[in-house]
Structure 1
Amino acid sequence: MPGEIATDRRLWELTGKDGLHFLQGLVSNDVRPLERADGIVWAALLSPQGKYLADFFIVRLAGRLFIDISDRLAEATFRRLGMYKLRADVQIAPLDLPVVRGLGEPPTGALPDPRHPDLGWRGYGLTGDAPSIDWDAIRVAQVIPESGLELIPDDSYILESGFERLHGVDFRKGCYVGQEVTARMKHKTELRKGLVRVSISGDAPFGAEITADGKPVGTLFTRSGDRAIAFVRHDRAAGEMRAGEAVLALDSAET
């Protein structure tokens, strides 16, 4: 299967000797492996209060350093990165290269999506076709959040959004913006809320409130067929739930 052009993604290049060091002090994941070899890391940028602001891929390819980010988050994210730059020797500029992603055998130069094997590969500057792959079906099956959908700036917490399971956070890397709150959620509390997969029968809009026994449970997000991603309070997400005209239940095969 050929790759498709991800029309909703934007690519930026970081130049200057401090690029990786600059990112290491800001993002949720450890980017130091990219000092030694080409590769790809998925990470989040958080507020000082530990809330999600953006997620993106940090890519080293042929010695060059790129950021692959959702188009809807790009401008605000790079304004914020500029605030942190201070005297660091790092420059950030947009690149007119397509982001290509696909399933199956990767072409030369492509890198595996680090979040989950079912998400295939990503390539930069490669030839691609028009979008055709049902990525929502894959995301729902594996409970993988998407920026601007399940991942809500200034609202979501990355541990409640599955970043640990999806290799988007490192608890040994040291300090970064929002690290203290994230570490406290990891080590001192049990997560009471989070993203899950639910079965769904009936109609309900994206963003519908989920209830059980008249009490709020959470929010319905991306749907694919008879399953969907939902954000729920774990202590209330038992038995039958409702959203709009739909009936929901935790998926018995939840991953």
Structure 2
Amino acid sequence: MNNWNEYLSSQGAQLAADGSGHVPDFGHALTAPELAMGFVAPITDQGLIAVSGDDAASFLHNQLTNDVEHLGLADVRLAGYCTPKGRLQATFLMWRSGESVFLQLARELQPALQKRLSMFVLRAKARLSDAGAGLVLLGIGGAAADGALLPLFGSLPATPYSRIDHALGTLVRVADAFGAARYQWLATPEAAQAAWPALSAALRQAGSDAWRLAEIHAGVPQVTLRTQEQFVPQMVNFELLGGVNFKKGCYPGQEIVARSQYLGKLKRRTALATINAPAQAGDEVFAVDDPDQPCGMIVNSAPNGAGGVDALVEMKLAAIEQGDVRLGSASGVPLRMLPMPYALDALDL
């Protein structure tokens, strides 16, 4: 891994000063139009848990918001892990092999979440381990992505939220952004380094900030340390993205999540906005016509290459409809709403 970091540094990557190996960018933030053309990015802020054993799927099926028992080998799904009060402790990108179910999540959450889930294994034949050690993750997206990847893999996952296994590693297709496919490639450092010259010749070099910006424009939220236990899944549009299965049976918080869906309790959604100021997950936003209390919270943000950030912002439906929302206070920097890539079905809530 250190050799991989050294290689990226030699290619212009800006490594975080804390020694974590995090690569936020390659010297500057890319804009959404630049990402739409095509980019390749080391994704360095994600962790990966493997849950292995005969009961791995059934154990997770009883813990997560989505169906794990019927997760096929070519399938990829979003899933959440909630408190008994229905608040998200983590969001996952999930897939499986013949031996394990894999849960990708914010790396900063992995140690505590892995330990917490392990506490509930009890007599189940399941064990949790760090599956990311010794591997690297690349994000590839934009109009030129398919052309850059096809010479390496021969064929690509055909639809969003599907995957293939290959001698070069696992290639996961996630939600489209900017009208083009996006992929995550889980590889050995040696395979990634061998492929980097060709990929970076065809695509713009980027870092984890760019991948997060693409995720934001795809409308896909991720719970991080600053937003743990802040949102019921529907508040961040998670069921619109297929991250909640309402027929699968019980899991922690299931009653509250179901009640929010069927009894009209939810009055909040997540929208896409651009902000001409620094902002981060957990920052509050205020509606001008209701200045005394926050109307919502930033879920995720990323530099947009224009001096500000683009963000997914959870808000009251009334604030989204009214549109005059500010960062930090009712007199703060305004949020400019952008079109979401999918319909915000408010379910008359």
TM-score range, shorter chain: 0.7 to 0.9
Contact 1:211 1:243 survives alignment (8 Å): no
1:62, distance to aligned residue in structure 2 (A): 5.5
Segments of structure 2 that go 5 or more residues without pairing to the other structure are 1-37, 154-165, 197-204, 342-349
Q: Is the Cα–Cα contact under 8 Å of residues 39 and 61 in structure 1 kept in the other structure?
A: no
Shift of 1:160: 0.4
Letter in 2 for 1:143: G
Any idea what the Cα deviations from partners look like across 1:49-99, whole Å, max 9, x if unmatched? 111011222222365432222211101111111121010011112232333
Matches of residues 60-75 of structure 1 in structure 2 within 5 Å?
Answer: 60-61=96-97, 63-75=99-111
How does the TM-score come out when normalised to structure 2? 0.63
Q: CA deviation at 1:8?
A: 1.4
For residues 21-74 of structure 1, what are the alpha-carbon distances to aligned partners after superposition, in whole Å with 9 as ceiling and x for unaligned?
11011100111233x534322211111111101122222236543222221110
Shift of 1:124: 2.6
1:98 maps to 2:136: yes
Percent sequence identity is 22
- Give the counterpart letter for 2:318 in structure 1: D
Of 121-130 and 43-52, the range deviating more from structure 2: 121-130
- In the alignment, is the contact (CA less than 8 A) between 2:89 and 2:223 conserved in 1? no
Aligned match of 1:31: 68
> Helix, strand or coil: the match of 1:85?
coil
Distance across 2 between alignment mates of 1:143 and 1:58: 17
Q: Deviation of residue 208 (structure 1)? A: 4.4
CA gap of 1:38–1:213, structure 2 versus 1, over 3 A, is: closer
Tell me: CA distance 1:85–1:139, structure 2 relative to 1, closer, same or farther (3 Å): same
- Aligned ranges 1:117-128 → 2 under 5 Å: 117-118=176-177, 120-126=182-188, 127-128=191-192
CA distance in 1, matches of 2:255, 2:268: 19
**Aligned-partner Cα distance in 1 for 2:81–2:183:** 22
Match of 1:230 in 2: 313
Q: Which amino acid aligns with 2:324?
A: E
Determine if contact 1:11/1:99 at 8 Å carries over to the other structure. Answer: no
**Counterpart residue number, 1:111:** 172
Distance in 2 of aligned mates of 1:173 and 1:220:
30
What TM-score do you get using the length of structure 1 for normalisation? 0.84
Say whether residues 1:213 and 2:286 are aligned partners: no
Asked whether 1:146 is paired with 2:258, we answer no
CA distance in 1, matches of 2:324, 2:74: 47
Which residue is equivalent to 2:33? none
Report the more deviating stretch, 16-25 or 137-146. Answer: 137-146
What SS does the corresponding residue of 2:119 show, helix, strand or coil?
helix
Supply the distance in 2 between the matched residues of 1:140 and 1:56 (Cα, whole angstroms).
Answer: 15
Distance, in Å, in 1 between the alignment partners of 2:81 and 2:58 is 15
Determine whether 1:10 maps to 2:10: no
1:137: which partner in 2?
A: 213
Q: Cα 1:239–1:90, aligned 2, differ >3 Å: closer, same or farther? A: closer
Any stretches of 5+ residues in structure 1 without a counterpart?
none
Could you tell me how far apart the structure 2 residues matched to 1:21 and 1:132 are? 36
Query: Are the equivalent residues in 2 in contact too, given 1:39–1:111 (CA < 8 A)?
Result: no
Correspondence for 2:253: 178
Letter in 1 for 2:185: G
Aligned to 2:241: 166
Residues 1:98 and 1:198: Cα distance change in structure 2 (over 3 Å): closer
Greater Cα offset, 175-184 or 226-235: 226-235
Once superposed, what is the RMSD of the aligned Cα atoms? 2.7
Greater fraction helix: 2
Residue type at the aligned position of 1:56: F
Distance 1:111 1:62, change over 3 A: farther
Equivalent position SS for 2:102: strand
Task: Measure, in 2, the Cα distance between the counterparts of 1:67 and 1:235.
Answer: 35
Query: Kindly tell me: are residues 70 and 205 of structure 1, through their superposed partners in 2, closer, same or farther at Cα, counting changes over 3 Å?
Result: closer
CA distance in 2, matches of 1:62, 1:211: 49
Quote the Cα distance in structure 2 between the aligned partners of 1:72 and 1:81.
15
Select 1:193's aligned residue among 268, 286, 296: 268
Q: Larger % of strand: which?
A: 1
